[in-house]
Amino acid sequence: MTKKEANQLYYINREIRMWQRELDKLRNQSNIKGQNIDGMPRGSNKTDKVSKRAIKIVEIEETIRILHNKAVTSKAEIMKYIENIPDSCDRQIFFLRAAACLPWSVIADELGGDNTEDSVRMRYNRIFLSKK
């Protein structure tokens, strides 16, 4: 597993949140628009805004479902990779960063001792160097 592959779960989760925000915006939009009274004639070009919005909502929900499946697969690959890391501390660091998507400061606090953000980050990076 490469570092890029290990970090994919983090970015997939961020992408899910991005699409979820977009979905929330669509769901919260009003179907009623104000009238434009300017005395000018308008064409009869009517569009079904409600159905277009419903289709967009379904498309985004499908995108979220696909991304969720990718996240589950990615986490399973990470967990399988962790089994092959010989050092317990390295396994914890790898899990907390790659699977739990925690920031370095939280990982350092979780491990305790004299661990700093930089020391756990460097240790995480060394995991990939030792597998080459």
pLDDT digits 0-9 by tens, 36-53: 667 666 666 666 778 888
Structure tokens at 109: 């606090």
* Of 8-17, 35-44, 58-67, 94-103, minimum mean pLDDT range: 35-44
Per-residue confidence (pLDDT) for residue 48, from 0 to 100 = 75
Nearest to 23 by CA among 50, 62, 66: 62
Domain boundaries, the chain: 3-28+51-130
64 contact partners, CB below 8 Å, separation of at least 6: 16, 19, 20, 23
Question: In which band, very low, low, confident or very high, does the pLDDT at 129 lie, cut at 50, 70 and 90?
Answer: confident
Average pLDDT over residues 98-105: 92
Per-residue confidence (pLDDT) for residue 128, from 0 to 100 = 84
* Of 45-49, 64-68, 77-81, 114-118, minimum mean pLDDT range: 45-49
Examine the pLDDT at 35 and tell me if it is beyond 80: no
> Contact, 68 vs 23, CB < 8 A?
no
Rounded Cα distance, 53 and 30, in Å: 11
